[in-house]
Amino acid sequence: MLLGLSKGGIVTPEMLMTMNPHPIIFALANPTPEIMPDVARAARPDAIIATGRSDYANLAACHALARLAHEDVPDSVMSAYGVRQLKFGAEYLIPKPLDPRVLLWVAPAVANAAMQSGAARRSIDLNSYRDELIRRQGFGQQFRNTLFNMAKAGDKKRIVFAEGEESKIIRAAHRVEEEGIGTPILLGDAEVIRREIAELGFVWEPHIVTPGPETDPNYERYLDELYKLRRRKGVNLNRAHSMLRSISFYAPMMVRMGQADAYVSGLSREYPDVARPAFQVLGRRAGVRTVSGVYIIIVRNRVYFFTDTTINIDPNAEELAQIAISAADFADSLGHKPRVAMLSFSNFGSVEHPLAAKMRDAVDIVTRQRPDIPIDGEMQADTAVVEQIVNERYPFSRVKDANVLVFPGLASANIAYKLIARLTEAEAVGPVLLGAGAPVQVLQAGDDVDSIVALAAFAALDAQRRR
């Protein structure tokens, strides 16, 4: 290897010819390097060559890659290379070739350097350029970017992550803060969390809350409030103490008592074990009778909302109407004009059965309560999403090409979204919890970091919109 930062023109091609095969030649003197890159390349075409001159290899790209190498690596990249962890060090000096973030970091850096140096023929808006690069990576990434931008546009909300000692949660919380989505609070043992942060290579001092009467000055307030809240539900003071030992009660109590604005949990716990305590502490949103969950399914550059995928096993017509209204309003809040289809095995009365009848009844209820929502059914799934079928067979339908799909029960909704997510190239974002008394999002056990960040963004948006 030749590493020079001394004087221009002191290295000759003949010197390079004496080096071993595949040499590394870093001639970094400025403005004239020890040997010009084109001369070095002619002498040793097998070499790796670098220069300090910005009119050759672009330094902006190098700096961008160097910064990116110190960032947390997405789960998708680690999965592609069959490893459980990648962090800057001897085994990971530069980003992996399959890391999709390289385009988003390097290209804007090069464009900015070109504009700053005067080499660029025209100036561009870097934020717009980055958005365009994201669009090239697919509609799913574009959807997430829009979601993050919406969350970043509002005031920063405090999001408590109940499983704060988990590596994935720490990585997601770090991204939430770095990207300006919100202000994370990690719930757990401070020593364990700081040790994990150091292991991940982060230089970061997050807000940490360790539950317990000796470690949190708010504990007694939480205990008193929880006891008052549940004492007519069979909970005595000792039982309230026991409940507060669980992070599934502690975190929502932080939201209830104003120490956090939103709550995210569920990575290592079953969905009902997180959702049930949250409902007991925070209740339902005013005017909402039925809490529900919705998955955003992104397939072939289209966005669909599947509901209810997480809460209600066998909803009746009134509950289905509330589920449909919540999903329609949620879609509208994200900029997608809702077209609601009540799904069944029957098309507009073709089969007389109570399961089909309840979907028709739900349509009538929504039409009375919210005539502004386009809704129809009952209809089969293909009728709902294929406009040609409606045009040819059911031209009277008020809904064509539906994007909000309301399933007759939890079984069909859960099966449908999981099959689509696993057997096709569709992306599933969620589940997003709708109708809780405060901003709460419940993860699926084992979610990756991208999914956690997305649900944190939904929680932040929910908190912003409840002002």
pTM metric for this prediction: 0.76
Domain 292-435 in the same topology as domain 155-282: yes
Q: Residue 72: CB partners within 8 Å, gap ≥ 6?
A: 87, 171, 174, 175, 200, 202, 449
Helices (H), 268-426: 271-282, 317-333, 354-369, 381-385, 387-393, 410-423
Show the tokens assigned to 355. 């399961």
Which pLDDT score, from 0 to 100, does residue 58 have?
Answer: 66
Helix (H, G, I), strand (E, B) or coil at 90: coil
pLDDT at 56: 62
What number of residues does the chain have?
A: 467
pLDDT per residue as tens, the chain (467 positions) = 999 989 999 999 999 999 999 999 999 888 889 999 889 999 999 998 888 776 665 677 878 888 888 787 776 677 667 777 777 877 777 787 767 777 777 778 878 877 877 777 788 888 887 777 766 766 677 788 888 888 888 899 999 999 999 999 999 999 899 889 999 999 999 999 999 999 888 889 999 999 999 999 999 999 999 999 999 998 999 999 999 999 999 999 999 999 999 999 999 888 889 999 999 999 998 888 899 999 999 888 889 999 999 989 999 999 999 999 999 999 998 889 999 999 999 999 899 999 999 999 999 999 999 999 999 989 999 999 999 999 999 999 999 999 999 999 999 999 999 999 888 888 888 899 999 999 999 998 888 888 999 999 999 999 998 86
End-to-end Cα, the chain, rounded Å: 61
The single-letter code of the amino acid at 255 is V
Q: What is the rounded CA–CA span in Å between residue 438 and residue 448?
A: 24
Alpha-carbon gap, residue 382 to 402, rounded angstroms: 10
Q: What is the three-class DSSP state of 316?
A: coil
Extents of the domains making up the chain: 1-57, 59-137, 155-282, 292-435
The pair of structure tokens assigned to 244 is 């507060």
Our measurement of the distance from residue 197's CA atom to the centroid of its chain's CA atoms, rounded to an integer in Å, reads: 20
Distances (CA, A) of 89 to 48, 79, 92: 21, 19, 5
Angle between helix axes 167-178 and 190-200 (nearest 10 degrees) is: 70
Q: What is the pLDDT, as a whole number, of residue 84? A: 74
* Residue 332 structure tokens: 């509208």
Homologous superfamily of domain range 292-435: Isocitrate/Isopropylmalate dehydrogenase-like (3.40.50.10750)
145-167 burial, b at 16+ Cβ within 10 Å, e below that, comes to bebbebbeeeebbbbbbbbbbbe
Interior angle at CA 104, CA 102 and CA 105, nearest 5: 65
Two tokens, residue 449: 């970091």
| Residues β-bridged to residue 461 | none
- 155-282: what fold? Rossmann fold (3.40.50)
Q: Which two tokens stand for residue 226?
A: 């929880």
